[in-house]
């Protein structure tokens, strides 16, 4: 007979849980089409040996000017394409080494919100079809075949982002940009992810709407225990939302730290330059007060 565990005594600490997300030496090279018959095709090093970890419930900002590799990083973390080298460990599992079935099932844990709420929503699909779509793509998990269940899950996701169940049968053009981005966020939430990768999620929105969507993301982080990999060229937004910031220049991490120190005492000339450019471009920040 196994003796019952004595009450009040803490369990033996097991092996430390892996971080939610660990990126190890991630690089991506793209080969461009040849410009000339005699030329070798040029190669772009879009990402170059990027490593970081992101713990559950935290948010990591990624900043860098256009072309620095931010979206490439997002696609690799989301396993939308394979890296040239390196690993993406989600909850300890190397996504790029998983067999397709396991990867499909693992996708429930991480979802993405894209920049453009116009381009990322299919204009012919209803909100219900759009929001419930990730459920259909998940195989290997309990398939949610029941239409009522799907509708119920989609309604809950919509309500979590401040929309109504009555919106389920509408189509995207009936919504404003901010509302469309809320629909995109609802679609990301429906699989109950632990990680959301947001690539410039408010950059396409009016400044007045940006703060509302950022507030929503922040509120969802608390209520759903989410972690964010939050990509933005707007330093003020990252300053407000993120616990840690990573500065990318030409595919490399040149500086990393909490925004309070990174944005007040930047060490790397490139970070200093980004800050100066941001100060010069003000006012364009929409960080909620």
Of 185-244, binders to Mg ion (CB under 5 A) are none
Q: Which of 64, 86, 134, 266 binds ligand ADP (CB under 6 A)?
A: 64
Contact region with ligand ADP (CB under 6 A), list: 69-77, 116-124, 168-176, 219-227: 69-77
Nearest to 228 by CA among 262, 194, 187, 276: 194
Q: Residue 138 binds what, of Mg ion, ligand ADP, none (CB under 5 to 8 Å, by partner type)?
A: none
Number of residues that make up the chain: 289
Kindly tell me which of 136 and 277 has the beta carbon lying closer to ligand ADP: 277
Contact region with ligand ADP (CB under 6 A), list: 64-72, 144-152, 169-177, 255-263: 64-72
Kindly tell me which of 39 and 66 has the beta carbon lying closer to ligand ADP: 66
Token pair listed for 210 = 């940006």
What is the closest distance, in whole angstroms, from the C-beta atom of residue 17 to ligand ADP in the complex? 30
Task: Spell out the long-range contacts of 253-260 with Cβ–Cβ below 8 A and sequence spacing 24 or more.
Answer: 253/50, 253/51, 253/52, 256/52, 259/61
Contact region with ligand ADP (CB under 6 A), list: 1-9, 67-75, 186-194, 269-277: 67-75
* Residues binding ligand ADP (CB under 6 A): 30, 32, 44, 46, 64, 66-72
């Amino acid at each position: 007979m196994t003796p019952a565990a004595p009450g009040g005594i803490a369990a033996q600490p097991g092996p430390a849980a892996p971080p939610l997300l660990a990126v190890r030496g991630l690089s991506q090279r793209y080969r461009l089409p040849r410009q000339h018959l005699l030329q070798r095709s040029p190669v772009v090093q879009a990402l170059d040996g990027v490593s970081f970890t992101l713990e559950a419930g935290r948010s990591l900002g990624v900043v860098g000017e256009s072309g620095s590799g931010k979206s490439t990083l997002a696609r690799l973390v989301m396993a939308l394409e394979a890296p040239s080298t390196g690993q993406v460990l989600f909850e300890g599992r190397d996504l790029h080494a998983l067999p397709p079935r396991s990867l499909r099932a693992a996708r429930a844990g991480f979802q993405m919100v894209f920049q453009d709420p116009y381009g990322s929503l299919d204009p012919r699909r209803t909100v219900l079809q759009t929001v419930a779509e990730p459920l259909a793509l998940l195989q290997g998990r309990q398939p949610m075949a029941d239409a009522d269940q799907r509708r119920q899950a989609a309604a809950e996701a919509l309500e979590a982002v401040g929309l109504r169940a009555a919106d389920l049968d509408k189509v995207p053009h009936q919504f404003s940009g901010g509302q469309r981005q809320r629909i995109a966020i609802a679609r990301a939430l429906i699989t109950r992810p632990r990680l959301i990768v947001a690539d410039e999620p408010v950059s396409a929105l009016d400044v007045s709407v940006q703060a509302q969507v950022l507030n929503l993301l922040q509120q969802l982080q608390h209520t759903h225990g989410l972690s964010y990999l939050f990509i933005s060229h707007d330093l003020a937004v990252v300053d407000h939302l993120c616990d840690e910031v990573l500065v990318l220049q030409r595919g490399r991490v040149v500086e990393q730290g909490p925004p309070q120190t990174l944005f007040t005492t930047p060490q790397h000339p490139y970070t200093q330059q980004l800050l100066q450019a941001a100060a010069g471009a003000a006012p364009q920040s929409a960080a909620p007060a």
